[in-house]
Amino acid sequence: MKIALITDTHIGARNDSLQFHEYFDKFYTEFFFPYLKENNIQKIIHLGDLFDRRKYINFNSLYLSKKYLFDVLERDGYEFHCIVGNHDVTYKNTNRVNAPTLLLGEYPGLHVYEEPTVTNFGGLDILMMPWINSENYENSMATAADTKATVMMSHLELAGFEMYRGAVNDHGLSHKVFDKFDIVCSGHFHHKSSKDNIHYLGSPYEMTWSDYNDDRGFHIFDTEEKSLTYIKNPYRMFYKVFYDDTEKTEQEILDQDFSYIKDTYVKVVVKQKSNPYVFDVFVDKLNLHLPAHLQIVEDNFNLDIEDDSDIINEAEDTVSIIKKYISNLNLDNAKPVENLFYELYHDALSIE
């Protein structure tokens, strides 16, 4: 049996942005569901953080997500198994108050796991391990130790894995705790990575500049071979356009096709600008393609940076800027400070 694995969908992300809802809709409608239909896959496991906000839901976000996701799941007969993640729960010490259970009870094909549970898929027992907290810690550890299941689907915070590119988590459980399993798949960290038997699957689409140029998608799990196949999402939300009028002629600059930037977030990184008029015409052309957001980063805002590669890095994303700033503080132990700033930054994206 083949099962689609998806995680960290964060419905309502970016302050319930309509542009992001349209982006999510495009992913499900034009890519995710067509792939499942073409390959006759009817079972889906979601590995946590189905929703973005921990304490409430925007009614329009719930309405839109039902149209492009949950109604489709029910209409087309999909079996949807959802592990509770930390963004799905209101309190840090219990999973009992969680968004999937409270918001999606009308869908009989949806199964929510707020406690460790062994479920059989195609003859293979799989341990479904939701977010581990103080209330369920002992039960979670005991269940993981005692189960005969050789596969675990989870939402874990493990030390030594990248949360985002370049940002390694230094706290949480050791991944060695789950050595007994042949394969452990987890949500929580949005960067896709693997170490030993642990596989962080990563989020299915881009949500912040931290995700720029970092592959996004979903996976297919084969219960017979206990293997993962990665399916890359072809749709992106964040683009960089590099401007240098010393490398191209005026006509070459203005003839470029930017139709792909519609409804996306774009950063224009200016490496060299010798003709301000051409640059203004270039920017006007970009705006004609209706990006959701257009930002221009010029090197004269970075006079202390030595070369173009540093300028590009400076323009890359907020997480990179935070990391660079903290590094320059020369702290004895910068990691806890980095992690605190990362958490604050990503929490701030959801604040109205």
For residue 176, give the DSSP letter: G
Q: What is the pLDDT along the chain (352 residues), one digit of tens a residue?
A: 999 999 999 999 999 999 999 999 999 999 999 999 999 999 999 999 999 999 999 999 999 999 999 999 999 999 999 999 999 999 999 999 999 999 999 999 999 999 999 999 999 999 999 999 999 999 999 999 999 999 999 999 999 999 988 889 989 999 999 999 999 999 999 999 999 999 999 999 999 999 999 999 999 999 999 999 999 999 999 999 999 999 889 999 999 999 999 999 999 999 999 999 999 999 999 999 999 999 999 865 443 443 444 444 444 566 667 777 787 777 878 777 877 777 777 666 555 4
Instruction: List, edge to edge, every strand of the sheet that includes 193-195.
Output: 117-121, 124-129, 151-155, 183-187, 198-200, 193-195
Q: Report the C-alpha gap between 114 and 55 in whole angstroms.
A: 16
Cα Rg for the chain, rounded, in angstroms? Answer: 22
Q: Which two tokens stand for residue 138?
A: 């002992």
Boundaries of every domain in the chain: 2-232, 238-316
Give DSSP secondary structure letters for 225-274. TTEEEEEE----SEEEEEEETTTS-HHHHHT---GGGTTSEEEEEEEE-S
Domain 2-232: CATH class, spelled out? alpha beta
Q: Report the C-alpha gap between 334 and 327 in whole angstroms.
A: 7
Consecutive H or E run containing 66:
none
The CA-atom distances, in angstroms, between 149 and each of 47, 51, 120, 144 are 17, 28, 9, 9
Residues 6 or more apart whose Cβ sits within 8 Å of residue 22 = 263
The CA-atom distances, in angstroms, between 261 and each of 217, 236, 243, 291 are 20, 9, 15, 6
The DSSP bridge pattern shows strands 117-121 and 110-113 to be: unpaired
